[in-house]
A and B are shown apart, each in its own frame.
Chain A
Amino acid sequence: MNLELQHGSRSRILAAFLIGLMSIFVLRLFYLQIIQHGLYTRLANAEQLKRLTIPAKRGLIYALDGKTPVPLVMNQTVYTVFADPKITTDDEKIIDAIRDIAGGNARPKLKELLDKKSSRYQILATRISRLQADKIKAKKLKGIGFQEQTQRVYPEGSLAAQTLGFVNYEGKPSYGIESGLNKRLSGKDGLLQSVTDVSDVPLTIGDRNIDRPAVDGDNIVLSIDRNIQSRLEQALVDGLKRTGATRASAIAVDPNSGRVLAMANLPSYDPSKFFDVKDAAAFNNNVISTPYEPGSDMKTLTMATGIDKGVVRPEDTYVNTDSIQVDDRVITNAYKGQTGTITFQHALNWSLNTGFVTVAERLGDGNNITRQARDTMYDYFYNKFRLGQFTDIEVAGEAKGTIIPPTEADGNAVRYSNMAFGQGLDATMIQVASAFCPIVNGGYYYKPTVVAGVMDKDGKYITDKIKAPTQIIKESTANQVKEMTHIARSTFFASVDKSGFYVGGKTGTSQVIKNGVYSDDETVGTYLGYGGNSDRSEYVIMVQVSGDHMQMQGAMHAMPIFTDISNWMLDYLSVKPKG
């Protein structure tokens, strides 16, 4: 086509104008689309391409009811109700609705909150349920909005609170299993990257979409049996009432697997109201986090060491004078009068310190706690019974305790003479209870655990395999010490146990160190024992009671709590009596 326009004609001018205009458009488009391509792509992506985090669901925590898992910690969606006072109109109606429906979850002084007309955001109620939120939504109140959040709920109330821990408002786990197994419980958030519309609805258009689903956290089944846990907690409450003590802790372990059946401390708290707790000490699980001098409970381990090394037998004798000299120190018995030539069984029955210092001496040259004796004791206490080291139990906040090795200056004969009857070392209750299990199960150390398995996606309970134990003492040693503790209990407390069962244990009364010296007015009472029939022990229970400026005794204050739980356990576990 050949346009022939006359020079100066209007058509020619129009054509020139249009060509010029089009040239401007082309140049502008070239600038925007080619030169500024990167900038506008970024701006468009920022506006249209959204990266949405798909939050992983936090795993639930179950306890056992016999062999059936029951939920202890669950998730629930709750809502915060807020108002935009600038656009709310019928304030009276809003106040009535919130008060009627949210009840105790409504904020006080709602009128004052709604009168703040310069504000755009006022919280009227928190943590209301979905049903409550639906009722408020149905009223179609102008200027009212809802924020959704997930919170942990505890169907069993405060049961096993210190073992569970809690998740705070920022979603941060604190204490207990929540913190100890946070990685497993929290799962992994997913990612959705997509072009969205104005309402943030993801659209499939675009070539940079990512849809990575969230991996929910594990649903963990604890080895805690809710019935045993409840009974243990009740026994502690009753024990505190009876004794006047202000603090108590207890643990029940299956000695044939290392699984913790129950673990409790008083005072406790309600994890759903963790924010109401005034003293943070209530959050601590003292069974695992508070090392103490175990006192006479340790005599069972000293005796096991002596028997295992072949230097003593329960029926062997020594001369008890109620005191014994070790280097520059004189060690005396707490219970005096059992003097003369007595057996080590007798020494255990009466919890005589001199008897166990003698065992320590016999591990050496017979008269002194030599380096060889101390090395042997350290090997047994630290390496075999694993006192003074982490058990790696899954609950957060575990303390290590202290066993001073003989290689250090403080690891001298005086210290090791004290360690023979439970002083001069620090251990936690979980360490002591776990160390005692080999004595009642034939010599095998099981690593303690509170995890029994997981619930899979289909709600099926899958149990963890029990980790292979380590034989740390001979079976004959274990059986002899077990029998010794059975006799020790039977000597004084035979009538308190159900007949036909095989129950044993050892009392402990520990002095408390305050400001570096032993306190004169405070002791901790403990009882460490087991129960079952003559063929097999089904449980090990350790109880501890204490209070500021209170002298608690193992036999008088802790032992009855053990007996209370032990007799109930025999029924609950359907243990058959023998003989």
Chain B
Amino acid sequence: MSYQRSVAYTSRRQQNWSRNQNTVAFASSIKLGPVAHTVLVALMITVLGLIYLTQATKTTSYDYETSKIDDQIAELDKEKNDLQVENARLTALENIKKSSVASTMTAPTSTDYAQ
């Protein structure tokens, strides 16, 4: 697309043009009417809405991940707890008394005390 000077620009300082100063102004030949503006605004709102929804959904997906991990932790906790209960049962006094080691033990006939 090419542009051409379409408007003669005359400012009050026009007489003193200096180097590197814009001396031309471009005016687009494309004109946007009120309908186009409305559509563009609507599109922008839609895009922003979609971005918001994407982010919100993304956060929610983390919630599901968190929930899943929490469930796993709870399940592992239960397993650990079951093992602790089993360990306590196996080392209970009654089990120790009935163990093969205990059954072979005898009462000492005499006791010496260290001084």
**Which residues from chain A sit less than 8 Å from chain B, CB to CB?**
1, 70-71, 74-77, 129-131, 153, 155-157, 159, 201-205, 226-227, 230, 571, 576-577
Asked if B88 is an interface residue, CB under 8 A from chain A, the answer is yes
Measured in the bound complex, the distance between the Cα atoms of B15 and A496 in whole Å is 131
B85 contact set on A, CB distance < 8 A: 74, 76, 153, 155
9 contacts between A and B (CB under 8 A): A75-B81, A76-B82, A131-B82, A155-B85, A201-B64, A201-B67, A203-B63, A205-B56, A205-B59
Number of A-B contacts (CB under 8 A): 53
Quote the shortest CB–CB distance from A212 to chain B (angstroms).
Answer: 16
B64 contact set on A, CB distance < 8 A: 201
Are A71 and B88 CB-contacts (below 8 A) given A201-B63, A201-B64, A226-B93?
Answer: yes
Q: Given contacts A76-B85, A129-B82, could you give 8 more A-B pairs where the C-beta distance is less than 8 Å?
A: A74-B88, A130-B82, A153-B85, A155-B92, A156-B93, A156-B94, A204-B59, A226-B93
B93 touches A159 (CB 8 A): yes
Are A577 and B81 CB-contacts (below 8 A) given A74-B88, A157-B94, A202-B67?
Answer: no
Quote the shortest CB–CB distance from A32 to chain B (angstroms).
Answer: 21
Asked if B54 is an interface residue, CB under 8 A from chain A, the answer is no
B62 touches A204 (CB 8 A): yes
Asked if B84 is an interface residue, CB under 8 A from chain A, the answer is yes
**How many B residues, CB 8 Å from partner?**
22
Measured in the bound complex, the distance between the Cα atoms of B64 and A155 in whole Å is 38
Q: Could you tell me which residues of chain B, from 83 to 103, have a CB within 8 Å of some CB in chain A?
A: 84-85, 88-89, 91-94
Q: Could you tell me which residues of chain B, from 52 to 68, have a CB within 8 Å of some CB in chain A?
A: 56, 59-60, 62-64, 67
Quote the shortest CB–CB distance from A267 to chain B (angstroms).
Answer: 18
A130 contact set on B, CB distance < 8 A: 78-79, 82
B34 contact set on A, CB distance < 8 A: 1
A76 touches B92 (CB 8 A): no
B92 contact set on A, CB distance < 8 A: 155-157
Asked if B111 is an interface residue, CB under 8 A from chain A, the answer is yes
Quote the shortest CB–CB distance from B88 to chain A (angstroms).
Answer: 4
B9 contact set on A, CB distance < 8 A: none
Are A76 and B81 CB-contacts (below 8 A) given A155-B88, A201-B63, A204-B62?
Answer: yes
Instruction: Identify A74's interface contact among B59, B84, B93, B94, CB under 8 A.
Output: B84
B81 contact set on A, CB distance < 8 A: 74-77
B91 contact set on A, CB distance < 8 A: 70, 155
Quote the shortest CB–CB distance from B31 to chain A (angstroms).
Answer: 14
Quote the shortest CB–CB distance from B79 to chain A (angstroms).
Answer: 7
Quote the shortest CB–CB distance from B25 to chain A (angstroms).
Answer: 28
Measured in the bound complex, the distance between the Cα atoms of B5 and A377 in whole Å is 122
A226 contact set on B, CB distance < 8 A: 93
Quote the shortest CB–CB distance from B26 to chain A (angstroms).
Answer: 27
A227 touches B59 (CB 8 A): no
B78 contact set on A, CB distance < 8 A: 77, 130
Asked if B113 is an interface residue, CB under 8 A from chain A, the answer is yes
A204 touches B113 (CB 8 A): no
B59 touches A577 (CB 8 A): no
Measured in the bound complex, the distance between the Cα atoms of B82 and A129 in whole Å is 9
Closest to B63 in A: A203
**Which residues from chain B sit less than 8 Å from chain A, CB to CB?**
34, 56, 59-60, 62-64, 67, 78-79, 81-82, 84-85, 88-89, 91-94, 111, 113
B67 contact set on A, CB distance < 8 A: 201-202
B94 contact set on A, CB distance < 8 A: 156-157
Quote the shortest CB–CB distance from A7 to chain B (angstroms).
Answer: 25
Quote the shortest CB–CB distance from A338 to chain B (angstroms).
Answer: 38
A153 contact set on B, CB distance < 8 A: 85
Measured in the bound complex, the distance between the Cα atoms of B91 and A156 in whole Å is 9
B111 contact set on A, CB distance < 8 A: 571
Quote the shortest CB–CB distance from B35 to chain A (angstroms).
Answer: 8
B93 touches A576 (CB 8 A): no
Measured in the bound complex, the distance between the Cα atoms of B111 and A549 in whole Å is 43
Closest to A578 in B: B113
Measured in the bound complex, the distance between the Cα atoms of B112 and A571 in whole Å is 11
Measured in the bound complex, the distance between the Cα atoms of B112 and A577 in whole Å is 10
Closest to B94 in A: A157
Measured in the bound complex, the distance between the Cα atoms of B111 and A577 in whole Å is 11
Closest to A159 in B: B93
A577 touches B113 (CB 8 A): yes
A202 contact set on B, CB distance < 8 A: 63, 67
Quote the shortest CB–CB distance from A272 to chain B (angstroms).
Answer: 11
Quote the shortest CB–CB distance from A75 to chain B (angstroms).
Answer: 7
Closest to A63 in B: B93
Closest to A199 in B: B67
Interface-central residue, A75, A155, A202, A576, by most chain B CB under 10 Å: A155
A156 contact set on B, CB distance < 8 A: 92-94
A203 contact set on B, CB distance < 8 A: 60, 63
A227 touches B93 (CB 8 A): yes
Measured in the bound complex, the distance between the Cα atoms of B68 and A201 in whole Å is 9
A77 contact set on B, CB distance < 8 A: 78, 81-82
Measured in the bound complex, the distance between the Cα atoms of B85 and A71 in whole Å is 9
Quote the shortest CB–CB distance from A194 to chain B (angstroms).
Answer: 9
Measured in the bound complex, the distance between the Cα atoms of B94 and A227 in whole Å is 10
B93 contact set on A, CB distance < 8 A: 156, 159, 226-227, 230
Are A204 and B88 CB-contacts (below 8 A) given A75-B81, A76-B82, A227-B93?
Answer: no
A201 contact set on B, CB distance < 8 A: 63-64, 67
Are A204 and B82 CB-contacts (below 8 A) given A74-B88, A226-B93, A230-B93?
Answer: no
Closest to A574 in B: B113
Closest to A148 in B: B78
B63 touches A70 (CB 8 A): no
Measured in the bound complex, the distance between the Cα atoms of B89 and A155 in whole Å is 5
Interface-central residue, A70, A157, A203, A227, by most chain B CB under 10 Å: A203
B59 contact set on A, CB distance < 8 A: 204-205
A227 contact set on B, CB distance < 8 A: 93
Are A70 and B79 CB-contacts (below 8 A) given A159-B93, A577-B113?
Answer: no
Quote the shortest CB–CB distance from A105 to chain B (angstroms).
Answer: 16
Quote the shortest CB–CB distance from A127 to chain B (angstroms).
Answer: 13
